Amino acid sequence: MRKVDLIAFILFLGLAASAFADQITLKNGDRLTGTVVKSDGKTVVLHTEFAGDVTLQFSAITEINTEKPLHVALKNGQTVVGPITTSDGKIEVAPKSGALVETPKEEVVAIRNDADQLAYEKALHPGLLEGWTGAAVIGFSLTRGNSQTENLSLAFNAARATKDDKLIMYANSIYGTNQLATPSTTANTENGGIRYDRNINPRMFGFVAVDFSSNALQDLNLRSVGSVGLGYHAIKSDQTTLDLLAGGNFTDENYSEPANPTATPPTPAMKIIHNYGALTLGEELTHKLGKTTVLAQKLYLYPDLTETGEYRGTFDLDLATKISKWLGWQNHVGDIYVSNPPEGTKQNDVVLTTGLNFSFTH
């Protein structure tokens, strides 16, 4: 083969390759070739041979031409599948069957290839064991010498959110001892619960929750609270969320009253049970402080509907900072207030813990 023919053949192959590539033309006249991967309506990701994935502003694009079919989601809820072209500033999608679909660029919510569309559809209806995110936190301290103390704090939280609902689980435990004091136990609390949210509309949701807690130093064997109510997304953005919740609950409390042999007459150990209906009033705030730190705060009040004036309140403040993708540092401040604790115990239990945060996704 002559040299001129060889050069012509190479040029032909290059032109043929570009002819079968997706093409994007920008407002400044630049033209890029590659494979359109996806778009969220604001940006477009184009995979190129030499520059890898390139992200382009959707508003800066004047023309798009693709060879392979793509899934184009529109604001009216319709999804059209086919190659994309542009004409007179509008997006045209040519499905295999049916008429050509023409729409303004502003009506495009997302563009996905087959792989991204499959992942998106799976995310809408994940299996019960799929779509979970969460973290486990552990903190420990030990002293010896003039003091002999041990403190261990454990916490776990997980959430599974879909387009229509959200499932939340949590558990935490704090145990501390001081071997030079009597009694030696300085902290012994456990808390746990599960909540299910169901979206009613983009702003409002209904919730059902069950919470359990115990506190040995307050002589609380078990507190069970079943709640139902409505929630409202007062703020819902990528950086900040603020939810307001209101509803009702039924509370069952089981306290132990220790024996008092010095009383007249001596009193034996006994159990004190409180059952009552109460309101559930709460707010939950989450705010991202930069790229690596998240602040989460919760405040709940439970006014007793049986004994007017009695109530219980909980406050939690967490600050989590990522060190790596799966490791972080977490600080927690919590306060549990009971207006009518058993005789000899205090109304407030304030806890401060710090430790390592191990995050996970599934």
Q: Are strands 327-338 and 348-361 parallel, antiparallel or unpaired?
A: antiparallel
Residues 184 and 314 placed together within one structural domain of the fold: yes
* pLDDT tens digits for range 169-211: 999 999 999 988 888 888 899 999 999 999 999 899 999 999 9
As a whole-number percent, the residues of the chain with pLDDT over 90 amount to 45
Residues facing residue 68 across a β-bridge = none
Q: Which of 77, 67, 108, 103 is nearest to 88 (CA)?
A: 103
Residues 82 and 194 placed together within one structural domain of the fold: no
User: Is the pLDDT reported for residue 255 higher than 50?
Assistant: yes
Domain boundary among 100, 124, 148: 124
* pLDDT score for 130: 80
Token pair in block for residue 58: 């959707």
Residues 198 and 76 placed together within one structural domain of the fold: no
> pLDDT-based confidence at 266, cuts 50/70/90?
low
DSSP state of 342: P
Task: Check if the beta carbon of residue 76 is closer than 8 Å to that of residue 107.
Answer: yes
User: Is the pLDDT reported for residue 356 higher than 90?
Assistant: yes
Residues 96 and 172 placed together within one structural domain of the fold: no
Residues 117 and 137 placed together within one structural domain of the fold: no
Count of structural domains within the chain: 2
User: Please, how many CA atoms are within 13 Å of residue 65, restricted to the half-sphere of its CB?
Assistant: 12
Q: Are strands 70-74 and 108-112 parallel, antiparallel or unpaired?
A: antiparallel
Q: How far apart are CA 243 and CA 231, in angstroms?
A: 7
pTM of the full predicted structure? 0.71
Residues 173 and 284 placed together within one structural domain of the fold: yes
Range of the domain at 79: 3-124
Residues 189 and 307 placed together within one structural domain of the fold: yes
> pLDDT-based confidence at 342, cuts 50/70/90?
confident
Residues 262 and 145 placed together within one structural domain of the fold: yes
Token pair in block for residue 298: 């919760």
pLDDT, the chain, mean: 87
User: Is the pLDDT reported for residue 42 higher than 50?
Assistant: yes
User: Is the pLDDT reported for residue 16 higher than 50?
Assistant: no
Residues 315 and 218 placed together within one structural domain of the fold: yes
CATH number at residue 331: 2.40.128.130
3-state secondary structure at position 232? strand
Q: How far apart are CA 45 and CA 61, in angstroms?
A: 12
Residues 6+ apart with CB under 8 A from 21: 33, 34, 35, 67
Residue 122 φ then ψ, to 5°:
-70, -35
Token pair in block for residue 229: 């109510």
3-state secondary structure at position 77? coil
Domain boundary among 106, 124, 142: 124
Residues 142 and 108 placed together within one structural domain of the fold: no
pLDDT top residue among 117 and 358 = 358
User: Is the pLDDT reported for residue 15 higher than 60?
Assistant: no
* pLDDT tens digits for range 226-250: 999 999 999 998 899 999 999 999 9
Residues 92 and 150 placed together within one structural domain of the fold: no
* pLDDT tens digits for range 127-166: 777 888 999 999 998 898 888 899 999 999 999 988 889 9
3-state secondary structure at position 198? strand
From edge to edge, which strands make up the β-sheet containing 90-93?
A: 84-87, 90-93, 101-104
Residues 150 and 78 placed together within one structural domain of the fold: no
